[in-house]
Amino acid sequence: MSLPDYAMIGLLRALRKARPHAVKNYALSANTSASTIKQLQGLGFGIESHPVLGILLTADCDKLFPENIIAFRSPKYEQRPVYVFLETTSTQDAANRNLAAHAHDSDLFNGALWVAEKQTAGRGRYQRTWQSEPGQGCWFTIYLNACQKNSPATVSFSAALAVAEGIKKCTGLSCEFKWPNDVLVQSKKVCGILTEHSRCGRGMLVGIGVNVHHHTMDFQDEVRNIAISLAQASSTPLPEAVRPALIAAIADNLDQILSLPWKEIRNKWCAACPLFQKPIRLLQRNAVLHGIFHDIDDQGNLILRLDNGSHIPHISGEVQIL
């Protein structure tokens, strides 16, 4: 992987911070500045340059490439690798391939991102197909190395919180959670999270898919009534560069949330789960159970309180309100 263009990253940060005003006396040589501006214009950014007035960003760009994502990240995370694919089977697969090729130093990839415009074999729980067409959403994987010693429950619930906070920051939309790993907007699924151990045996992969620009007919028939995109949910147009901004925000958020105690993570998640401590139906492969969504245990299991007062932990299932 080639190193990102830090001149481009710096200029993008400066332009976005100054917008709607121009950046004056930017600290780049004339040749470098002109070359960087030309590259950004070629990628789809609207940029005007004037020898006296300065450099002005007139139109931002939603295109996914490393520098565009890194420019939205906190500077303390900008050294973490970002891989972007126009097309791949899945970002989980891409991450596993990359980590396997560097198995001896995979811990150096902590916090690395694998991002795709299109996945040809994106998947969710139970190997369900995850529809991920180009230009429509954020499809990406974050690697957490084994040194962090986070439990799968901590990672999964932290990822949900990171997504919700990122969506709130980038669009103003509020999210809710559905056990075990769905993020909802307006009671419909906007994001799925898939947490897996990496195939190289070290660390965990957090796969995240967020529906961003979909219209109703972009969804497949079987999910059209239960899925939603940020564009559908928002009453105002989304920011011009919402996808790279959202990926960066989620990645930054996850790193910070994972430092919290499990109890605080659990409490934050439960506070945004509308079915928590409500009567539910739990659909399992061979049974349908009824009871109260009583709690989440330290392993992330749903604790179902039955009519006889017993409390039964469940590791999987589909939750429905009664």
State the total domains in the chain: 3
Q: Does residue 95 lie in a domain region?
A: yes
Instruction: Tell me how many degrees the CA angle 128-129-131 measures, rounded to the nearest 5.
Output: 145
The enclosing domain of 287 has a CATH number of 2.30.30.100
What is the structure's pLDDT at 201?
63
Place of tokens 């529809």: 131
Domain final residue, candidates 34, 59, 84 = 59
Q: Does residue 287 lie in a domain region?
A: yes
Structural contact between residues 196 and 214, judged by C-beta atoms closer than 8 angstroms = no
Domain shared by 163 and 90, yes or no: yes
- Checking DSSP bridges between strand 288-296 and strand 54-59, what pairing results, if any? unpaired
pLDDT in tens, the chain (322 residues): 678 999 899 999 999 999 999 998 776 655 567 889 999 999 999 999 888 888 999 999 999 999 999 999 999 999 999 999 999 999 999 999 999 888 777 778 899 999 999 999 877 665 666 677 889 999 999 999 866 677 888 999 999 999 999 999 999 999 999 999 999 999 999 999 999 998 876 789 999 999 999 999 999 888 899 999 999 999 999 999 999 999 999 999 999 999 999 999 999 999 999 999 999 999 988 889 999 999 999 999 999 999 999 999 998 889 988 7
Q: Does residue 189 lie in a domain region?
A: yes
What is the structure's pLDDT at 104?
78
Domain shared by 87 and 126, yes or no: yes
Domain shared by 49 and 86, yes or no: no
Nearest to 4 by CA among 100, 92, 112: 112
What is the structure's pLDDT at 151?
84
Domain shared by 286 and 259, yes or no: no
- Checking DSSP bridges between strand 188-197 and strand 204-211, what pairing results, if any? antiparallel
Q: Does residue 207 lie in a domain region?
A: yes
Domain shared by 200 and 296, yes or no: no
The enclosing domain of 31 has a CATH number of 1.10.10
Domain shared by 123 and 242, yes or no: yes
What is the pTM for the complete model shown? 0.94
Q: Does residue 1 lie in a domain region?
A: no
- Checking DSSP bridges between strand 188-197 and strand 176-178, what pairing results, if any? unpaired
Q: Does residue 240 lie in a domain region?
A: yes
Domain shared by 23 and 117, yes or no: no
What is the structure's pLDDT at 148?
65
What is the structure's pLDDT at 210?
97
Domain shared by 112 and 192, yes or no: yes
Domain shared by 143 and 201, yes or no: yes
Q: Does residue 97 lie in a domain region?
A: yes
Domain shared by 185 and 293, yes or no: no
Instruction: Determine the structural domain holding residue 296 and report its residue range.
Output: 279-321
* Measured CA distances, 228 to 50, 66, 139, 150 (Å): 43, 27, 15, 31
Q: Does residue 290 lie in a domain region?
A: yes
The enclosing domain of 174 has a CATH number of 3.30.930.10
Domain shared by 246 and 265, yes or no: yes
What is the structure's pLDDT at 1?
60
- Checking DSSP bridges between strand 113-116 and strand 82-85, what pairing results, if any? parallel
Domain shared by 84 and 226, yes or no: yes
